[in-house]
Structure 1
């Protein structure tokens, strides 16, 4: 329901009274005595980013599936200079917006085709997101909340996990949150904490255009869903606050022209250059209809996406936002208590005659009571929104709620709600700061902070005990570099959720994970207890920082574990084997490399080889629509094609994933020679080596 404003005569008088009350009762957070300096906070946050994210850019190599696929698209763009049409293995790849690939292609041109260059834009995106959260929270809530917001972004489990592969969510979050921040600054350019001032002309004109620019970049990053989130949030916010009367501050006409000038050219060129695909469809149908509307409805073609059950979708956010999700109850309680206080203060001001009661105008009747309560709610909301911090709270709440509800209805992957992370973490940080400020006087604040620490300590002790048990039981087992040989062979390639691989860890694999397991066990055994002890001494800044450092050590351990999973999750070593055989002249450089099954099984191979490959029974998923264009290269082979050409013409080198080994054994039998095997993946060739290496 759209809430209309109060009658003009009432709203003007009410605004004046509210402005007076604002100056008497500012809502900004009191400044704690031990708040960190801005320079110190930025130094710590930058250091954490270097330790957690920058240091992780060099290993592990690109993973198969989305990581390698997206890097291949950017590699093609960097080599050909075609900034309009994405290609993977020479096939049109039309389902993605281009900006992440532009950034990756630029990185490749500067640093070369390697893992560091592939993931650098995403790591920079994390740093910029943390700095944006720090800056926004500093203006809205104060320096301590700003520091906590930056800490939470850099040390949350979900931010770490979902930046291990090259997906656009972190860039989408950066641009959308920038658009929201500049929206708020555009509307509040003439107000600072409720005190009316003369706006600065340059800032007043700059913020709206920054908003439209950020929104255009968000569309070029993820597509139309960026418009849904931004305008959905903005419309509700403008309606609730009555700020739609200041719509001119947002420069809707010139701003829209700027938005179109940035976002429209690529969409138009992509549509003109990509026509005549499946059933006569081209880019416009596939990108807008299939990848947006049909994906939301769960009817996308091909049907290769899954959806989390509702209970998992909501509960897993406690994991993605861990450890800061433990303070989520404080955010709800503090937010609700603040709303009740401001609502009661509004009613008391009416009762005392300081502001007029917002009664609706006649006619009286059945709708009068509804209009009266609507006006009371609008008036109380206006009374509560007495500064930049309160407006920020409302805007972040609306945005995060919209993102979560949207993807609870749509098909989804675990990381789709990434844009809500910064808003939720900033609200948690603000609530935690308020609770710390009232820790000694307010039993509720003390009780819920204690509950969070107790929960973290129990989780820490449990995790440390489980890790210690795994280390003890594997103490006599030898270290095996290829952890894939120790894992249960459960068809991980058939999983359609991004975190499915992490469910294949078995007991014996602890022998290959001793270092990260010991590191994580130490962090969980010591960190939560130290943080709780510091909290009992009312050393709140140190206690919260201790939680962040605990998470940091755990994330470092997780990264080391991910590197140990490299043979299973990446096929770089198999690409290097091919290059080694070519360098040793054991095979000719004029060979045909083939991937058996969908290209996602071994998508890192063509990237590290630096060449396109053939696909056997691989005309599926992301390769399907692009293969229907008449100029698509003939890279798709059937089983019969493989049998006819196997052993004839150029040497064939066939990559076979674990999931397809039995199928290939039945198809080729003994007509294949094994070149290399790792984690169940294999390289076969169709003839003996030209120059076998001596024993």
Structure 2
């Protein structure tokens, strides 16, 4: 988009890319134009999204509860494992989460402002309603129609349960819908008009709305390039994604049950009038449940439930704050908070011992910067799950991870115990801050480890090798760069080279539908094409991922020159270097 100026049709390596909504790519294109083509520019919108999500959580929790709950909510967003993991990759979930939660918050603010005799908001009820429709439109432009499903499911259920549906005109449904369409509809219409005549006569409308939304939900999307977590993993892994704050889930359940019982049966079935506090709890509980149940039925990846993280963390922060208040007098709250700290300490000791054991086993192994050579390559989930590579770790890989492993081991050996000691002394704010600090240091160690994994997870070094050879005159800048297999195996190469890359047997997954349009560039080669052109015409430079090494070695035999071998991936050329 930044290069072509076409803000309607996305392209990957010259091929139409019609799977995704455009807003994250608009933001990235604007960042490229401002900061240049680099990884900082790619990640900047994601980082801003995390900051906005934390600020939204703080503001919502402060208004609904108090400042300490708001502070805990902000800490939760900034130190949760899932938020850290799933914003390191270019996916729209953090932006979707921000816009959806903003729309829900604005829904409550609009209704609350309309019913209040004393105006306490910055804007009028109508202004909050129009901002709600704007946020919802931006959510649709971020992830598609699933934003309407989540907002509509939670919002309608809330209005019906509370009886607020009687005041539906407060939300400006007619003029607000016009505003929503004015923001969200133009791109969809233009994309449909400009992208017709694809696979079997299908265009954008069929591919985007039917294939990418409806058929994906049913698990019948074509092509099938995704996986689904087993039910027990889908639910239990949220303990990991919300860690360390998920340790307080039992305490939160106990607090919620006690407050529910205390309200009495009469209120229990009337559910109104609710304070903004009660409105928030009900709406966030409905929204969280809707997102989690939806993706437990649908096909899913680990990060699909990211939009529920903020709502869950606000509820956990509120429950933790209430449990802290009752810590001295309420033995039940005290017991479950201590249970959370005990679990944290056990986890910390277990992690420390495991890491220490791995470091001890690798003590005689020299440091090797290419961690890919020391991994098991177990191919868990066919690497269609985003965390599959974590299962590749071997004992010897600790030789390349000594610094982050040592930092994490020390942190988990000390941090949970300090937090528990502070809790015992009833220094609750300090105890919770100690948990957040422990998580922060651990995430720094995890970041260092991910950097060490860079050579395996990215192909930037292969692009750098090609640029180095071109700069030295060893190969000509007019050399043709090829990649074996799907572009996802080495998407860093065309990004860093900034030029078209030919794909051998790579007409698959996200490249498949766009390749069927008549104007698709001829970048797809077969094995026969590779053999016919190898050694003829301009020099060929072929990138081969680990998964395809055996195929290519059998195909080309000895008729190739190895330029780089790294993390099991290889870079070949079809003739000796020029110098």
Place the TM-score, normalised by the shorter chain, in its bin: over 0.9
CA contact (8 A) 1:491 1:658 kept: no
2:272 to 350, 373, 382: 382
Write the mapping of 1:183-582 to structure 2, written as runs, cut at 5 A.
183-191=107-115, 196-198=117-119, 202-344=123-265, 346=266, 378-379=269-270, 381-382=271-272, 385=274, 387-491=275-379, 494-582=382-470
**C-alpha displacement at 1:496, in angstroms?**
1.1
Q: Which has the higher contact order (CA 8 A, sep 6+)?
A: 1
Q: Distance in 2 between matches of 1:620 and 1:411?
A: 20
Residue equivalent to 1:173: 97
Q: Which moved more, 1:129-138 or 1:464-473?
A: 464-473
The 3-state SS of whatever aligns with 1:107 is helix
Distance 1:200 1:96 in 2: 36
What is the Cα deviation at residue 494 of structure 1?
2.9
Tell me, in whole angstroms, the C-alpha distance in 1 between the residues paired with 2:566 and 2:352.
Answer: 31
Output the CA distance in 1 between the equivalents of 2:536 and 2:316: 64
Q: Give the superposition deviation at 1:201.
A: 9.2
Cα distance, 1:473 vs structure 2: 1.5
- Cα deviation 1:629-669 (Å, max 9, x = unaligned): 11111000000000000000010000001111110011000
* 1:585 partnered with 2:509: no
Contact persistence 2:416–2:435 (CA under 8 A) = yes
Deviation at 1:470, TM superposition (A): 1.1
Offset of residue 490 of structure 1: 3.1
1:28-39 matched pairs, under 5 angstroms? none
- 8 Å contact from structure 2 (residues 281, 315) kept in 1: yes
Match of 2:553 in 1: 665
Aligned to 1:677: 565
- In the alignment, what sits opposite 1:98? 22
Q: Contact between 1:519 and 1:557, CA under 8 Å: does it hold in 2?
A: yes
Tell me how many residue pairs correspond in the alignment. 579
For 2:377 and 2:250, how far apart are their aligned partners in 1? Answer: 40
Secondary structure of the structure 2 residue equivalent to 1:97: coil
| Matched position secondary structure for 1:188 | helix
Once residues 124 and 351 of structure 2 are traced to their aligned partners in structure 1, the CA distance between those partners, rounded to angstroms, is 50
Q: Structure 2 vs 1, CA of residues 202 and 430 (structure 1 numbering), >3 Å: closer, same or farther?
A: closer
Structure 2 stretches lacking a partner, 5+ long? none
Q: Deviations over 1:508-550 (max 9, x none)?
A: 1111100000000011000000000000000000000000000
In 1, are the aligned partners of 2:486 and 2:507 still within 8 Å (CA)? yes
Alpha-carbon distance between aligned partners in 1 of 2:377 and 2:446, rounded to the nearest angstrom: 22
Q: Are residues 1:629 and 2:550 paired?
A: no
- The alpha-carbon deviation at position 205 of structure 1 amounts to 2.2
Q: Distance in 1 between matches of 2:134 and 2:254?
A: 36
Residue 488 of structure 1: how far off its partner (Å): 1.3
SS of equivalent to 2:335: helix
Q: Alpha-carbon deviations, 1:55-111, whole Å to 9, x = none?
A: xxxxxxxxxxxxxxxxxxxxxx00000000000011010000000000000000000
For residues 582 and 137 of structure 1, do their structure 2 counterparts lie closer, same or farther at Cα, with a shift above 3 Å needed? same
TM-score with structure 1 setting the length: 0.82
Offset at residue 492 of structure 1 (A)? 6.4
Cα deviation, residue 489, structure 1: 3.2
Structure 1: state its 5+ residue gaps. 1-76, 348-376
List per-residue Cα deviations over 1:20-63 (Å, max 9, x = no partner).
xxxxxxxxxxxxxxxxxxxxxxxxxxxxxxxxxxxxxxxxxxxx
| Distance in 1 of aligned mates of 2:311 and 2:252 | 12
1:372-423 Cα deviation digits (max 9, x unpaired): xxxxx542x115x2x1111000000000000000000000000000000000
Q: Is the 8 A contact 1:615 1:635 kept in 2?
A: yes
Distance, in Å, in 1 between the alignment partners of 2:452 and 2:365 is 16
User: Could you tell me how far apart the structure 1 residues matched to 2:436 and 2:563 are?
Assistant: 46
Q: Deviations over 1:146-166 (max 9, x none)?
A: 000000010000000001101
Residue matched to 2:8: 84
Offset, 1:245 = 1.1
Q: Deviations over 1:157-182 (max 9, x none)?
A: 00000011010000000000000000
Question: 1:449–1:202: structure 2 CA closer, same or farther, 3 Å change rule?
Answer: closer
Query: How far did residue 591 of structure 1 move?
Result: 0.9
8 Å Cα contact 2:227-2:381 kept in structure 1: no
CA RMSD of aligned residues (A): 1.2
Separation in structure 2 between the aligned mates of residue 259 and residue 173 of structure 1, nearest angstrom? 18
Corresponding position of 2:68: 144
